[in-house]
């Protein structure tokens, strides 16, 4: 029966068309970095496809439904299956195949994380945003600790195509999983369609934007901010915007001796796109002191509107920011504090970073990434057909 199904797949294969299914679940609820990424790619890809191609968004949840027409020109499959249950079956049993679950027979299925979506005949593509889950598994969520560390290498090696969001991650994947670079495609996030802001000066808050987890190094940022506040009481407030995966008290504990600190540091929690834009438009700077990053979307968003960026010299952040921001050693609290003070006090530097950031952001286009992704899909589909013969 399996051979008959494979033969039918080969007979029906049309190299001039490609039917794509993307796992849209990371964008279903609160869109953190991966959610923003999948939505941006899917939207641009749908606009780029040839007339005979098709794109389907797949989602599964017991209680959350996929909004109608969330991506124009894309079909939708919205399964009422609990996410955790489906992930457990897919990751550990590699069952059920997507064709069984959806009654759909795509040419390509794309997972937005390093583990494959089971399929009987489709080319399988995975995305590897970063490899932090291998280096510091204790800093990751329970499901990632359970599955990614033990399964990712096997899944990535078996994938017909691998998508990464930076050259930095691409090099890591090629070296650590020992796979050929020609199977890896870099698809950067694109900049948002926001206009450059008027220069609001330095009265706005110092801003951190992103999920507050250990690798984001927010505790050291607060420590650096406290050191500045102790010397300069007129320093703008510090705003931490993003879902808290670390208790607020723990983040403030290193600098608790500074009088009045807790009143000057606010935690905004998860913020949607409109609120992110407002925060970036009114801040004095964005600070991202991460210990590792696969890309760093907030840095790109800040540069798009001309907000000065201070970023870590680790991971993909130097690749994203280039010379358009100040790069710092993230574990050097004094150096981080000095960089923040420079932006607050040096008007020429601030304006220079703003102009360079806007120019730098223009290098990151959703259209270019969608074009690269479309090529990766066609290459993966051809690779799958060759291996099946």
pLDDT band at 340 (very low <50, low <70, confident <90, very high): very high
Cross-strand pairs, 126? 111, 162
Nearest partner of 169 among 33, 322, 317, judged by Cα: 317
List Cβ neighbours of 146 (8 Å cut-off, separation of 6 or more): none
Asked whether the predicted pLDDT for residue 327 surpasses 90, the reply is: yes
Right CATH for 15-190+366-388 from 3.60.21.10, 3.90.1260.10, 3.40.50.2000, 3.40.50.970: 3.40.50.2000
Domain ranges of the chain: 15-190+366-388, 206-361
CA atoms within 13 A on the CB side of 336: 25
Q: Cβ(49)–Cβ(55) under 8 Å? A: yes
pLDDT at 5: 41
Per DSSP bridges, beta strands 309-312 and 238-241 are unpaired
Render pLDDT for 267-302 as a digit per residue (tens, 0 to 9).
999 999 999 999 999 999 999 999 999 999 999 999
What are the structure tokens assigned to 11, written together?
A: 């007979």
List Cβ neighbours of 309 (8 Å cut-off, separation of 6 or more): 285, 286, 287, 288, 299, 302, 303, 321, 324, 325, 326, 353, 357
Mention the CATH class of domain 206-361.
alpha beta
pLDDT band at 198 (very low <50, low <70, confident <90, very high): confident
Render pLDDT for 354-383 as a digit per residue (tens, 0 to 9).
999 999 999 999 999 999 999 999 999 999
List Cβ neighbours of 242 (8 Å cut-off, separation of 6 or more): 32, 208, 209, 210, 211, 212, 216, 268, 269, 270, 271
Mean pLDDT computed over 300-318: 98
List Cβ neighbours of 17 (8 Å cut-off, separation of 6 or more): 50, 52, 53, 54, 107
pLDDT band at 14 (very low <50, low <70, confident <90, very high): low
pLDDT band at 199 (very low <50, low <70, confident <90, very high): confident
């Amino acid at each position: 029966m399996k051979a008959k199904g494979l033969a039918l797949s080969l007979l029906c294969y049309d190299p001039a068309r490609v039917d794509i299914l993307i796992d849209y679940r990371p964008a279903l609820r609160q869109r953190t970095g991966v959610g923003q990424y999948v939505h941006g790619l899917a939207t641009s890809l749908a606009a780029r496809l040839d007339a005979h191609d098709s794109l389907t968004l797949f989602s599964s949840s017991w209680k959350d439904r996929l909004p109608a027409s969330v991506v124009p020109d894309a079909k939708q499959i919205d399964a009422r299956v609990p996410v955790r249950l489906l992930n457990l079956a897919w990751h550990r049993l590699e069952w059920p195949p997507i064709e069984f679950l959806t009654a759909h027979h795509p040419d390509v299925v794309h997972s937005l994380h390093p583990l494959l979506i089971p399929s009987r005949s489709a080319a399988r593509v995975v995305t590897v945003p970063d490899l932090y889950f291998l280096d510091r598994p204790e800093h990751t969520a329970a499901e990632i600790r359970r599955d990614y560390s033990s399964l990712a290498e096997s899944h990535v090696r078996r994938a017909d195509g691998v998508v990464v969001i930076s050259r930095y991650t691409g090099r890591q994947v090629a070296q650590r999983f020992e796979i050929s670079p020609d199977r890896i495609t870099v698809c950067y996030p694109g900049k948002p369609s926001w206009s450059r802001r008027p220069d609001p000066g330095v009265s706005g808050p110092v801003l951190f934007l992103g999920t507050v987890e250990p690798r984001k190094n927010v505790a050291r940022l607060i420590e650096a901010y406290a050191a500045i506040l102790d010397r300069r009481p007129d320093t703008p407030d510090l705003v931490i915007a993003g879902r808290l995966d670390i208790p607020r008290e723990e983040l403030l504990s290193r600098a608790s001796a500074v009088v009045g600190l807790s009143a000057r540091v606010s935690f905004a929690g998860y913020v949607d796109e409109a609120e992110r834009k407002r925060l970036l438009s009114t801040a004095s700077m964005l600070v991202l002191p991460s210990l590792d990053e696969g890309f760093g979307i907030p840095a790109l968003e800040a540069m798009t509107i001309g907000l000065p960026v201070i970023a870590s010299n680790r991971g993909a952040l130097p690749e994203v920011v280039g010379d358009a921001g100040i790069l710092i050693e993230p574990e050097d609290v004094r150096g981080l504090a000095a960089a923040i003070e420079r932006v607050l006090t040096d008007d020429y530097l601030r304006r220079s970073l703003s102009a360079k950031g806007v120019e730098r952001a223009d290098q990151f286009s959703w259209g270019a990434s969608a074009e690269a992704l479309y090529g990766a899909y066609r290459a993966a589909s051809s690779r799958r057909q060759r291996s099946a013969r």
